[in-house]
Chains A and B, each alone.
Chain A
Amino acid sequence: MVGLLHILAQETGGTEAAGSAPNWFMTHAYIIPLLLVASAALTLFFGKRTPGKGTVYGITALVIGLVIALGCLIGIAQGSGVATDGVHWFSIGGFSVDAGYYVDGLAATMLVVVTGVSLMVHLYAMGYMHGDKRYTWFYFVLSLFTAAMTVVVLAPNLFELLVGWEVMGICSYLLIGHWYEEHVNSSSAIKAFITTRIGDVPFMFGIFACIVLAGGTTSNIQAIGEAVGVSHDTVLVTAAALLLFGGTIGKSAQFPLHVWLPDAMAGPTPVSALIHAATMVAAGVYLVGRMFEVFVHADPAVLTIVGTIGAITMLGAAILAMVQDDIKRVLAYSTLSQLAYMVAGLSMGETGYSAAFFHLFTHAFFKGLLFLAAGSLIHAVHSNNMSDMGGLRSKMPITFITMLIGSLALAGFPLIGGFWSKDELLVTASTGHMWLFVMFLVTAIATAFYTGRMLFLTFYGPYRGHAEPHESPSVMTGPLVVLAIATVVAGFLGSPFTNYVFADWVHFGTPEVHSFHGAIAGIGSIAALAGLALGWLLYGPKRDREVDPLRRGLGSGVWGVLQHRYYIDDFYFGGIVRPVRDSVSAGVVWFNQNVLDGVVNGAAVAARSGSGAIMWVDRNLIDGAVNGAGTLMETFGKALRLVQSGKVQWYAVGLFAGVIALSLFIFR
């Protein structure tokens, strides 16, 4: 690896001339994934023998990584252009793939998110996972995951992206099933892996389509973008866009492949925070952003489809979040809904690009925060269910304050976190995408409502649990505080106070000109406050919680449908998984019974009849030959011994007869 670093160090001269020259951090961004891979390897091989059981490697690598990521962001903020370079990786015929990096504003902000949240999760897990029997292994997978995510973020070509993409998938699988002793967890892990894999198949074909578009010689994202710009093959471009979006649907858990994410909550809570809220699920959205040239140049119907799927997921998931009892499931459905915000934002084309990624940016911090705070609650009451919580406000003050900030950011409470990103989305949607505008607003109300419900059920009213709740150790509350601050700061990066600096960093085409719309901000604030107020009305401290108020309001019919997640999971299981599984297993049984057993039995029968034949040959031919030889000798001997009478004169008769015969023969 030292050699590779050396090569890379020599080749990092080449950069793209746009804006000022990239700074040192941007041209050395490849150090981040390399360091993280190294830390993962060190954790795996030496972790158990290291003081602290190996956490030190990942945390050190992430601190350095965060510094480099922030350095990259500073470079972008100073108006630097794109930094990209690579070394030759492999060639197949005329097709060649480089291993390298590509740092632009989008990648730099994503790097900050990934390394920042991952560092917080690494620290937090030292408390949360304390005493776990696979503690070191957990840190190994966590570091490997972070390395893979940075590979995805930095990938200059689709193959490198795919490598990181798939490693993330396997890490997600391993971490969801971290406590695989329980069957639910391992089947959730399998469900997540297979469901995302369904999306990966179209993604692969999308990559192939992109390579064809780029002339079959490269998978470089820039080259594909340029090729798409001049391509007249609209059908192929459209197909490529739709296929790539298939990967997004799987990874970012959009309808109809959203079913895996709520079940992924079976994993440890830090994992949910890092992978299933802040980073990995955002990779699908990131993919759309990276390949946005393809989406923009495809048939406009593609973006309409993207928007429709976003809208369906957005509201559908938000409604489901209202009826969950498991706090992590509330947050999981909330994640689905917020990811759909981003997808829908991207569907608005170039103008929604910056807003969508701003929402990704803020969401990563506040959703990571919310999950870690939820983990703190779970740690205290030993239950995931909100029906076992309540009244924890005074017992866990730090968790309460930080979770309050996260919740308000999620709900879109004025001036905090998500308010600014949702506002940008609303502003963008207000010009020409009225139906999305309405969807954003309705979902915002629903979001505020379930956020309020979650807050009031956990921190207000009487305590309903059984364990003795206590504030978490500082190694857990520390990250909460840091993320709470990050949430607030991140929000202001897209506010008029900083002159919408985020849009300068991350944009598609020419930077968008933003201005503050008081009316739209007001509407957004009213939606958030209305939702929170509704939550207070139904779940406020004075309410009776024996029966969920929403259940009484909706009636048990609707409630049942929602509890069954619109029966989508049941449909998948009953309509697809079980028939396929049953027919496959029936086929396997048949195959086993008839073909395999047939082969085995047939082999036995063949061997037996074969051995019978051999036995027959042995008994009759070989023994026959042996015995026959004996018998023949005996027969001849019996015949011949008659000659040997012992009577000398008969011998003499023979002798003379022989002489006479010879004489006749010679003198004939």
Chain B
Amino acid sequence: MIRLPLVLIFAALLFSAGVYGVLARRNAVMVLMAIELMLNAVNLNLIAFSASLKDVSGQIFALFVIAVAAAEVGIGLALVILLFRNRASINVDEVDLLKW
């Protein structure tokens, strides 16, 4: 059985990669994919602790997160398509109308 700390370190690395992607990527599709990375890092943590603590509630939580993430990606991609239609670009830096 894989030792818990290894999984946690892996999940942390995966989360950090996701954060980096969210903060640094200009492409909206890439940002969405980075968010998926972060969510999956969290799922990994939930399942790891569930297995370690012999408690299934963590796994059930993970299922919910996957469901929500699917919905979120669906909405997010729809937004990106609309953005592209309007701006002919999916660069998030250019989408700054909501400012002072």
| A interface list, Cβ under 8 A from B | 641, 644-649, 652-653, 656
B100 touches A648 (CB 8 A): no
Residues of B close to A652: CB separation below 8 A: 22-23
Residues of B close to A649: CB separation below 8 A: 22-24, 31, 92-93
State A411–B77 Cα separation when bound (angstroms). Answer: 145
- Chain A to chain B contacts (Cβ below 8 Å), 25 pairs: A641-B99, A641-B100, A644-B99, A644-B100, A645-B96, A645-B99, A646-B95, A646-B96, A646-B97, A646-B98, A646-B99, A647-B93, A647-B96, A647-B99, A648-B92, A648-B95, A649-B23, A649-B24, A649-B31, A649-B92, A652-B22, A652-B23, A653-B23, A656-B19, A656-B23
Residues of A close to B96: CB separation below 8 A: 645-647
State A649–B20 Cα separation when bound (angstroms). Answer: 10
Residues of A close to B92: CB separation below 8 A: 647-649
State A652–B19 Cα separation when bound (angstroms). Answer: 9
The residue in chain B whose Cβ has the minimal distance to the Cβ of A650 is: B23
State A652–B99 Cα separation when bound (angstroms). Answer: 15
Residues of chain B from 71 to 100 with CB closer than 8 A to chain A in the complex: 92-93, 95-100
State A533–B97 Cα separation when bound (angstroms). Answer: 136
The residue in chain A whose Cβ has the minimal distance to the Cβ of B24 is: A649
State A516–B22 Cα separation when bound (angstroms). Answer: 152
* Beyond A644-B99, A646-B97, A649-B24, 13 extra complex contacts between A and B, CB < 8 Å: A641-B99, A644-B100, A645-B99, A646-B95, A647-B92, A647-B93, A647-B99, A649-B31, A652-B22, A652-B23, A653-B23, A656-B19, A656-B23
State A647–B19 Cα separation when bound (angstroms). Answer: 16
The residue in chain B whose Cβ has the minimal distance to the Cβ of A648 is: B92
Residues of A close to B95: CB separation below 8 A: 646, 648
Residues of B close to A641: CB separation below 8 A: 99-100
Residues of A close to B98: CB separation below 8 A: 646
Binary A-proximity of B39-73 (CB < 8 A = 1, otherwise 0): 00000000000000000000000000000000000
State A354–B95 Cα separation when bound (angstroms). Answer: 132
State A641–B100 Cα separation when bound (angstroms). Answer: 6
State A646–B92 Cα separation when bound (angstroms). Answer: 10
State A648–B98 Cα separation when bound (angstroms). Answer: 9
State A649–B24 Cα separation when bound (angstroms). Answer: 7
The residue in chain B whose Cβ has the minimal distance to the Cβ of A645 is: B99
Minimal beta-carbon separation of A261 from chain B (angstroms): 102
Residues of A close to B99: CB separation below 8 A: 641, 644-647
Residues of B close to A653: CB separation below 8 A: 23
State A647–B23 Cα separation when bound (angstroms). Answer: 10
- Most chain B C-beta atoms within 10 Å of own C-beta, residue among A644, A649, A652, A656: A649
State A440–B11 Cα separation when bound (angstroms). Answer: 148
State A235–B31 Cα separation when bound (angstroms). Answer: 125
Minimal beta-carbon separation of B23 from chain A (angstroms): 5
Binary A-proximity of B1-42 (CB < 8 A = 1, otherwise 0): 000000000000000000100111000000100000000000
Minimal beta-carbon separation of B95 from chain A (angstroms): 7
Minimal beta-carbon separation of B86 from chain A (angstroms): 16
Minimal beta-carbon separation of A95 from chain B (angstroms): 93
Minimal beta-carbon separation of A287 from chain B (angstroms): 103
State A644–B96 Cα separation when bound (angstroms). Answer: 9
State A648–B24 Cα separation when bound (angstroms). Answer: 11
Residues of B close to A644: CB separation below 8 A: 99-100
State A653–B22 Cα separation when bound (angstroms). Answer: 9
The residue in chain B whose Cβ has the minimal distance to the Cβ of A643 is: B100
Residues of B close to A646: CB separation below 8 A: 95-99
Minimal beta-carbon separation of A642 from chain B (angstroms): 8
State A647–B97 Cα separation when bound (angstroms). Answer: 9
Residues of A close to B93: CB separation below 8 A: 647, 649
Residues of A close to B19: CB separation below 8 A: 656
Residues of A close to B100: CB separation below 8 A: 641, 644
Minimal beta-carbon separation of B90 from chain A (angstroms): 13
